[in-house]
Structure 1
Amino acid sequence: GNQYTPPGAYHYFSQLSGVIPIAPTVEKVNYLNTRGDKKGHVPTVQELLVFARDDLKANYIFWQRVPPYVDKVLEVMSWKRQTSSPSGGLRSACPKAYPACIWN
């Protein structure tokens, strides 16, 4: 956004991290290009994960099961960084909006 347009949704994800659960969805359009105007690049599944984890500060990621990408998503999810913790490397702290979290 700028002085004439509001910021996009991504601005609020990182701003509200730690306050409410952050749960972006990776959709078909996200696999195809990093920008809505198609002037970006075709991201790797790892780049999508890193963006959601580090920039959006996600607690959860919902991956749309798009056939050409499903196997790569499953491969990346099986890497040690994702399997070494119950949260898969994502933020696991209880959001402030909840009085308590249930831990199993």
Structure 2
Amino acid sequence: MKTFASLLLLLLLFGVAQAYAFRTKPERNLATQLSRYLQLPDALRQSRQGAVVLISFRIDADDRLADLQVHTSDRGLNESLARQLVGQKVVRTGPDRNAVQWVRLRFVP
């Protein structure tokens, strides 16, 4: 009977731990993190058109964006987005700090 009660208590504690793990917020992906720092650029606001933008970067030792490049054909849009993102802090989602990260963002006016 004592063994059964111990096993039941162990299962109950395991269930509570699993429920807590599912309630915690999952780590945000990089696209979500970058979108927090961005506002709709004037070039897109004036044209009233949406755009899909590719951004490549590395994450430095201080968890900030480094070596950032915006890949579009519009130079003004590239500069506007780069100004908003350079040096912003992010939470790494992968183990490799030195790898080039690629993020695709969609802008809707």
TM category (shorter chain) comes to: under 0.3
Q: Under a length normalisation based on structure 1, what TM-score does the superposition of the two structures give? A: 0.24
Q: Under a length normalisation based on structure 2, what TM-score does the superposition of the two structures give? A: 0.23
Per chain length, whose mean CA-contact separation is higher, i.e. which structure has more relative contact order (CA < 8 Å, sep 6+)?
2
Structure with greater strand percent? 2
Structure with greater helix percent? 2
